[in-house]
Homo-oligomer: A and B are copies of this chain.
Amino acid sequence: MRVFNFSAGPATMPLEVLERAQSELTDWRGSGMSVMEMSHRSGEFVSIAAQAERRMRDLLSVPDDYAVLFLQGGATGQFSAVPLNLASPGAPAAYLNTGSWSAKAVAEGRKYVDVRVLADEKESNYSTVPEQGSLEVPADAAYLHYTMNETIGGVEFPYVPDAGEVPVVTDASSTILSRPLDVSRFGVIYAGAQKNLGPAGICVVVVRRDLLDRARPEVPAALDWKAMADADSMLNTPPTLAWYLVGLVLEWVEQQGGVAEMARRNQAKADLLYGAIEASDFYSNPVQPAARSWMNVPFLVPDSALEKPFVAAAAEAGLSGLAGHRSVGGMRASIYNAMPIEGVQALVDFMTDFEQQNG
C-alpha cells in the first residue's frame, strides 16, 4: 500500500507517472528495450529528450532566447557552475542568505568569486526574506544569486528581487512548476529535479543565451553551460532514465492543467495546513506569514519530547517523512506538486488527533 510521503526530496511522485514508467520498463513502446538501455544518440531517445525540453518550455513559457539544459550534479553542481560560467576569478558577485541552501551556495561561491552577501537573514533566525526594495545590488556584480525557497527553513520569496542590469540567478529546486514564474526576470534559473520534477540525478538549468559567453576557460566540461547548450545537453552521456522520468512528470503537469492549476492546488494545500497550524495552540510555525513556503511547512509542538512520538505515530498512520531536517529538528511536511490534497487532509486530521491525545 502506498503511503503519503512528505519527504523534502527525493520526494513523492505522481503514481500515474510511476505506473507508466513501470509498464514501459522492460520494453519502451515496442522498441524492444528499456529507455535506460537506449543509446542517447538513438532517434527514440533524442525524441524523448526533445519532448521533455519542449514541455518544460511550454509549461514555464520560456522565451526563445533562453537555453534549457538537463545536467548532472544537482543544484550543488550549479553552486559551482554559476560563478564558473558567469564571472572572472575574484569578480564581485552578490548573494542573499536566507537559510541553509543559500549558505551553501555562498560557501561554494567563495571558492571562485568575491562574494558580497547583501542580506543575511541569520539575524532573523531565517524566519523571513529581505524586504522587497531593500536591496542595493552593486552595479559591478557579475550576478545576484538567491534561493527562491529554503527547503529546510520553509521560507519562500513572495517576489522576484530587482537587480537592475545585473543578471538574477536563482535556485528554484523546490518551487519550480509549483506556480507561474516570469522567466524573463531571470538570467539563470536552476533546479534539482528531486522535488517537483522527477528523480534525483538530473538538474534543469534555464539560462539566457547572451550569458553563455562569460565562462572561464577552466570550467569543467560537465558544468559548462555553453558547451552543453551547443550539444543539446549531450556533450557526454546524459542521465537518460532521469531525463525520461522528468518528461513523464512534465506530461503529467500538462495533463493536470499546467502551472496555473498546480498553483491553485498548492495554495489550497498550503492554506489547509497553515490554517490548521494557526488555528491550534499546540502547533506553531516560526516563519513570518508573508514568507511562508508553499512547498515545505515546518512546524513545532510545545514539547520537543513529543517530536519522535509524533513522527512515529504518523508513520504508523501511513504519513511518512515528517521529521524536520536533522539540523533544525521539529517536524516538516513537504507538499510538492505530486502531494494530493487528500494527503494534506490526512495529515491535518492526524495532527488534530495527536493534539487531542497530547495537548
What is the interface of chain A, defined by CB distance below 8 A to chain B? Answer: 1-3, 5, 7-13, 15, 18-19, 21-22, 25-27, 31-34, 36-42, 72-77, 79-81, 84, 108, 111-112, 192, 194, 198-202, 217-218, 220-223, 235-242, 245, 318, 320-321, 326
Contact = CB atoms under 8 A, between A and B. Distances in A.
Contacts of A10: 36-40, 237, 240
B220 A7 contact: no
A21 B33 CA distance: 14
A170 to B, nearest CB: 18
The 6 A-B pairs with the shortest beta carbon distances in the complex, nearest first, are A201-B239, A3-B32, A80-B220, A76-B236, A72-B72, A36-B199
26 contacts: A2-B32, A3-B31, A7-B39, A9-B39, A9-B237, A10-B38, A10-B237, A12-B33, A13-B37, A18-B26, A21-B25, A22-B22, A22-B25, A32-B318, A33-B320, A36-B200, A36-B245, A42-B321, A72-B74, A73-B222, A80-B222, A108-B220, A199-B239, A200-B238, A201-B201, A201-B239
B27 A239 contact: no
A39 B112 CA distance: 31
A349 B191 CA distance: 49
A37 B111 contact: no
A307 to B, nearest CB: 16
A320 B39 CA distance: 10
Nearest to A315: B32
Nearest to A79: B221
